[in-house]
Amino acid sequence: MGKAVGIDLGTTYSAIAILGESGKAEILANRDGERTTPSVVYFQDDGSVLVGTMAKRSAAVAPLDVVDFVKRQMGNPDWRFDAANGRQLSPEEVSALILKRLKEDAELYLGEGAVTDAVITVPAYFDDAKRRATKDAGRIAGLNVLRVLNEPTAAALAYGEEARKDGTILVFDLGGGTFDVTVMTITNDVYDVKATDGLHELGGKDWDDRLMTWLNQQFQNEGGPDLTETFESEADLREKAEAAKRTLSQAPSTKVILSSGGVTKSIPVSREQFESITVDLLNQARDLTISLVEETGLGWAGIDHVLLVGGSIKMPMVARMLEEISGRPPLRAGNPDELVALGAGIQAAIEAPSAGTPRPRAIIKDVTSQGLGVAVLADDGSGRLVNSIIIPRNTKIPAKGSDAFTTSVEGQTEVHVQVTQGDDEDFAFVKEIGDQLLTIPPYPKGAPIRVEFAYDIDQMVSIAVYDLTTDSLLGSFEVDNTANLSDEDIRTATDNNNDTEVG
Ligand code: ADP
Ligand code: MG
């Protein structure tokens, strides 16, 4: 039996960790000695793939064969990557190749066959489909996924186990593709999440995109061609923009050398300039943070620390903004890029203790990040659908909730259950995550039906519907997610994953 690992499967960078024998979580460096691995996959002509830094470097020379930011596609049934060898890969399959590389690298360190059990982290706001997709990616890579754990919770766990200090913390996690903010208390090893929110399309990539647009404009003003015209020049621009962004975290200004169509220019860019073209992005994170603190009713006075997590918090504008709104300098614990993986490693040791390693005492009490409800007809007779929330956002998980409804016409023989995920009362602003048509006897109008919803510990949804006239179960189902792979798809994907050589 191997040791259970924790995996931070990030939008831009991934990392893997275990709880060491000393009782401290440790990052397992990859085969190249790096502590994080770029979540980038390069599909080569011979069917083999490269994952990580080499794949990332290949983006400018072979942009059509390289996939990055695949995490943004998790749970999206319409996205497929067309590999040069004719294979079409789902987001789960691409993610599974990243996981395979992490697993193999960890085994290089721990011994062959050593890695089977894993805790994989997900952004707190990930919905049912995205969580399932993440678990499926793990399965495809041959991992037994013990649990999916919310990233901010994992980061807090890593911080708390190290700092051994009780208090209320706000975890501000700004990564490459996503933003999560969570408020929790740590008391006697109990990590109690109070509230969580996030923006799934806000991260370092958006800062890169802004800088790319700006640099491209400057380049054209100086007589250069549009760099987005070819995939190669666009990928080159992306690489240089990200590098410049990182430099600007250290230095007040830098220069970017761009070259295309026989034109070469050196474009100066200052931190001030960079901040002014991205301040609205930062403001989105700020506004959400402020409203979450309001929602908890604690106020800033009730929050002891602001914990910075994720690579993008290295931009000085982030800490400055947080100090402005919270009135105190935020806290950096260890390396902000590694905290999530370390926390996952700790949780893995809690889920699957191994001989010789002390089992951490931490207990996590997390909450749902999305409301769960059902579509019902509006009272006003307009025929409009409204969202009736059954399990509100920020309810402790595992969670159960139920509500009773009545049939709306005489002799109705079917009930249509439309399950929603989201917090809005307007049906148009929530996601329908599944529906089921259930048969009932032809009761008079007003016959009572009860719908019972449950969120499990991974925040995945199951539903049961009861006929209250006879007190019998009409049907129960997991969300029949058209967004997710079937068991058959997963088997095929697993075989393909096994057959693919990952370098
Ligand atoms: P994720 O978990 O979403 O993959 P990470 O937490 O690893 O992301 O953060 C990656 C992001 O952090 C990338 O957008 C990267 O460009 C950015 N980043 C890393 N280091 C720096 C830095 N020194 N300055 C600014 N941004 C940085
Ligand atoms: Mg992350």
For residue 397, what is the domain's CATH number? Answer: 2.60.34.10
Distance of CA 365 to the CA centre of its chain: 19
**For residue 471, what pLDDT is reported?**
93
In-domain check, residue 499: no
Distance 111 CA to ligand 1 centre (A): 30
Q: What are phi and psi of 168, to 5 degrees?
A: -105, 125
Same domain for 194 and 209, yes or no, is no
pLDDT single digits (tens) 282-337: 999 999 999 999 999 999 999 999 999 999 999 999 999 999 999 999 999 889 99
Same domain for 209 and 154, yes or no, is no
> For 362, which DSSP code?
-
Same domain for 113 and 54, yes or no, is yes
Instruction: Give the nearest ligand 1 atom to 8 CA.
Output: 2
Residue 170, judged by CB atoms within 10 A of its CB (0-12, 13-18, 19+), counts as buried
Q: Of the candidates 72, 97, 104, which has an alpha carbon nearest to the alpha carbon of residue 83?
A: 97
> Does the Cβ of 198 fall within 6 Å of ligand 1?
no
Does the structure show a pLDDT above 70 at 1? no
Q: Whose CA is nearest to atom 22 of ligand 1?
A: 246
User: Alpha-carbon distance 386 to 429, whole Å?
Assistant: 10
- Which residues make beta-bridge pairs with 436? 417
Same domain for 311 and 379, yes or no, is no
**For residue 111, what pLDDT is reported?**
84
Distance 175 CA to ligand 2 centre (A): 5
Does the structure show a pLDDT above 90 at 275? yes
Instruction: Identify which has the larger pLDDT, 376 or 242.
Output: 242
> Does the Cβ of 25 fall within 6 Å of ligand 1?
no
Catalytic pick from 68, 105, 151, 236? 151
Average pLDDT over residues 486-499: 93
236 in active site: no
Band of the pLDDT at 119, cuts 50, 70, 90?
A: very high
Band of the pLDDT at 480, cuts 50, 70, 90?
A: low
In-domain check, residue 486: no
pLDDT single digits (tens) 456-471: 999 999 999 999 999 9
> Does the Cβ of 12 fall within 6 Å of ligand 1?
yes
Same domain for 23 and 159, yes or no, is yes
Percent of the chain with pLDDT over 90: 77
Domain stop point among 321, 343, 366: 366
In-domain check, residue 97: yes
pLDDT single digits (tens) 202-253: 999 999 999 999 999 999 999 999 999 998 899 999 999 999 999 999 999 9
Ligand 1 pocket test, candidate residues 12, 247, 339, most atoms within 8 A of CB: 12
Instruction: Give the nearest ligand 1 atom to 248 CA.
Output: 24
Same domain for 181 and 225, yes or no, is no
Q: What is the extent of the structural domain holding 89?
A: 5-202+286-366
Same domain for 208 and 114, yes or no, is no
> Does the Cβ of 343 fall within 6 Å of ligand 1?
no
Domain stop point among 240, 256, 275: 275
Find the ligand nearest to 39 CA. 1
Same domain for 65 and 76, yes or no, is yes
Same domain for 341 and 411, yes or no, is no
Same domain for 358 and 386, yes or no, is no
Catalytic pick from 68, 127, 128, 173? 173
Q: What is the mean pLDDT of the chain?
A: 93
Does the structure show a pLDDT above 80 at 112? no
Instruction: Give the nearest ligand 1 atom to 15 CA.
Output: 7
Instruction: Give the nearest ligand 1 atom to 205 CA.
Output: 14
Find the ligand nearest to 56 CA. 1
Does the structure show a pLDDT above 90 at 84? no
Report how many domains make up the chain. Answer: 3
Same domain for 264 and 313, yes or no, is no
Does the structure show a pLDDT above 70 at 151? yes
Find the ligand nearest to 312 CA. 1
pLDDT single digits (tens) 44-60: 988 899 999 999 988 87
Task: Give, in order, the Cα–Cα distances in Å from 244 to each of 27, 68, 161, 319.
Answer: 27, 19, 35, 19
Distance 273 CA to ligand 2 centre (A): 26
Band of the pLDDT at 482, cuts 50, 70, 90?
A: confident
> Does the Cβ of 314 fall within 6 Å of ligand 1?
yes
Same domain for 53 and 128, yes or no, is yes
Distance 133 CA to ligand 2 centre (A): 17
8 in active site: yes
Complete DSSP assignment for 427-489:
GGGSEEEEEEEEEEEEEPTT-EEEEEEEE-TT--EEEEEEETTTTEEEEEEE---TTS--HHH
**For residue 499, what pLDDT is reported?**
93
Q: How many CA atoms lie within 13 A of 323 on its CB side?
A: 11
Mean pLDDT check: name the lowest of 100-109, 229-238, 479-488: 479-488
